[in-house]
């Protein structure tokens, strides 16, 4: 077979997951409650079909079978997260021995099957006890997180070589403090800014703890960011300015401090001018400057399209990023008809070129990219989901990723979201993304067509 798109030697092929979305056993085995368990108990109707995270895809009990499937479909790497409230049920203090055994078993099983674990420490799942003292609004939680991170490095860092402090840290800020789609459902920009700032600080403190602990030069640390390129409607200076501000709020607010060690001055100026700067303590900014990442995970699903505001915002309305831009639906854009998101494959290339040109070509990999599909059973034929649309989606993105590598971008891997169909935040089982379909009632796993297609890609290191 001729391989037209050949990837560099040692490229990581695999898929991504997160603890709350796959483990299940949410109220078992010594795990403490996190905000998802709590929010579901309090407001089940906020979740699609009133389904919560108690069972999900049962990875806690079926991880061995799942790791065999990963091997079967050619994975050489797998991204998972540790549940903070499973490892340390109250967020700080006692470690749960059953969790230590579980994560040790999973890591050992992965390695025994030739699969490299990529481990995220925080994927949206704040321990409830920590949220009850204010969550990321409270600096005590920043210190508790640093202690948790160090604990994880000490317990599992002899085998885990790729660590990520946070997954998409801007999402809990948007969801929990701006747009009301995550607990604690607060809508307040000033708090959002403080929470975002404390998350960046927590990230830098985890990196600091890592540097103090890590003696092995092979072990690396980074962060996973959803870098959503902001494309202006036109080259008109007002549209360009709108896109730039959107980029500052939603990408550079985390990307710059994580990779360059400092906030963009333009963003600081906007917040200062509107009285929205967070409280910063002495020494914080130096700490961020000294603790930048080794590696970067990039989640990419869809672009953002923006235009200049048509009407000036009411100056008495509460401050929001949307004071500076409007969203814009580009005519003729390609859509995922089964999830309602735009598909723009070139976005993945634009992100990588930006990282090369403006962020020191930091070592990166695609930590999530994927296509959600509602009611995917309709594509079932002879016992298998015929997800040709997903194959086309992945192939289109890989072509652009390949081009970025040819042009010198430092990309080392590709992880699909996700390994198997799983529970998602308030969408529950609405959108399916997996290589493997899961019957939630029987917990029966069946690889989709894309799983075997991807196996070929991984085996040939290209397609
Ligand atoms: C990303 C998250 C994942 C996953 C994915 C799909 O932002 O990191 O955890 O949920 O989005 O989202 P959804 O299931 O809402 O379509």
- CA 312 to ligand 1 center in whole angstroms: 33
Q: Which of 42, 36, 76 is nearest to 56 (CA)?
A: 36
| Residue 7 in domain | no
Ligand 1 center from residue 278 Cα (angstroms): 28
Supply the pLDDT for residue 139. 98
pLDDT attached to residue 314: 85
Residue 91 inside a domain? The answer is yes
How far is 90 from 133, CA to CA, in rounded Å?
A: 11
368 catalytic residue (yes or no): yes
Residue 6 is assigned to a structural domain of this protein: no
Report the pLDDT value the prediction gives residue 316, as an integer from 0 to 100: 86
Please give the tally of structural domains in the chain. 1
Give the whole-angstrom CA distance, residue 451 versus residue 392: 13
Q: Is the peptide bond before 146 cis (omega within 30 degrees of 0)?
A: no
* Residue 146 to residue 132: CA distance in whole angstroms: 18
How far apart are the CA of 228 and the centre of ligand 1, in A? Answer: 14
In a domain, 395, yes or no: yes
CATH of the domain at 179: 3.20.20.80
User: Does any domain span residue 5?
Assistant: no
Query: Residue of the nearest CA to atom 14 in ligand 1?
Result: 424
Q: Tell me how crowded residue 62 is: count the other CB atoms within 10 A of its CB.
A: 17
311 lies in some domain? yes
Can you give the pLDDT at residue 217?
83
Residue 388 CB partners (closer than 8 Å, separation 6+): 449
Residue positions counted in the chain: 463
User: Residue 381: which domain range?
Assistant: 12-460
Structural domain includes residue 410: yes
Choosing from 23, 174, 368, 376, the catalytic residue is 368
Residue 365 resides in a domain? yes
| Consecutive H or E run containing 422 | none
Q: For residue 168, which atom of ligand 1 is closest to its CA? A: 8
Q: For position 112, what pLDDT does the model report? A: 98
The parts of the chain modelled with pLDDT lower than 70 are 1
- CA-derived radius of gyration, the chain: 21
Tokens standing for 424? Answer: 């998602």
């Amino acid at each position: 077979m001729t391989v037209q798109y050949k990837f560099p030697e040692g490229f990581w092929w695999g898929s991504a997951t997160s603890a709350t979305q796959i483990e299940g056993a949410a109220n078992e085995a010594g795990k403490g409650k996190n905000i998802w368990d709590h929010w579901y108990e309090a407001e089940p109707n906020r979740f699609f079909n009133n389904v919560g995270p108690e069972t999900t895809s049962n990875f806690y009990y079926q991880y061995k079978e799942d790791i065999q499937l990963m091997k079967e479909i050619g994975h050489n790497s797998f991204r998972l997260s540790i549940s903070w409230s499973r490892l340390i049920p109250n967020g700080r203090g006692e470690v749960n021995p059953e969790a230590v055994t579980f994560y040790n078993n999973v890591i050992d099983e992965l390695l025994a099957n030739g699969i490299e674990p990529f481990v995220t420490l925080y994927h949206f799942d704040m321990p409830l006890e920590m949220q009850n003292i204010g969550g990321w609004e409270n600096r005590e939680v920043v210190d508790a997180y640093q202690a948790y991170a160090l604990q994880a490095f000490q317990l599992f860092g002899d085998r885990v070589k790729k660590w990520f402090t946070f997954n998409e840290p801007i999402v809990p800020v948007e969801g929990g403090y701006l747009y009301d789609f995550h607990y604690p459902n607060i809508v307040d920009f000033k708090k959002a800014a403080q929470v975002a700032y404390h998350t960046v600080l927590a990230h830098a403190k985890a990196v600091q703890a890592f540097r103090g602990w890590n003696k092995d030069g092979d072990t690396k640390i980074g962060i996973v960011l959803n870098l959503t390129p902001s494309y202006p409607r036109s080259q008109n200076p007002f549209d360009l300015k709108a896109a730039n501000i959107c980029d500052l709020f939603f990408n550079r607010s985390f990307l710059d401090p994580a990779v360059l060690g400092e906030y963009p001055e333009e963003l600081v100026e906007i917040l200062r001018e509107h009285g929205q700067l967070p409280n910063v303590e002495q020494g914080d900014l130096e700490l961020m400057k000294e603790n930048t990442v080794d590696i970067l995970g990039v989640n990419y699903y869809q672009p953002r399209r923006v235009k200049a505001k048509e009407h000036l915002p009411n100056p008495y309305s509460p401050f929001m990023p949307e004071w500076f831009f409007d969203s814009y639906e580009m005519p003729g854009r390609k859509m995922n008809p089964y999830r309602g998101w735009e598909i723009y494959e070139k976005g993945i290339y634009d992100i990588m070129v930006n990282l090369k040109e403006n962020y020191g070509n930091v070592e990166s990999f695609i930590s999530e990219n994927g296509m959600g599909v509602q009611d995917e059973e309709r594509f079932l034929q002879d016992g298998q989901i015929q997800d040709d649309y997903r194959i086309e989606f992945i192939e289109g993105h890989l072509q652009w990723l390949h081009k970025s590598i040819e042009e010198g971008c430092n990309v080392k891997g590709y992880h699909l979201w996700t390994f198997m169909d799983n529970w998602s935040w308030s969408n529950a089982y609405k959108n399916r993304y997996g290589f493997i379909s899961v019957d939630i009632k029987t917990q029966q796993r069946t690889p989709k067509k894309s799983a075997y297609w991807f196996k070929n890609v991984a085996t040939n290191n290209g397609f």
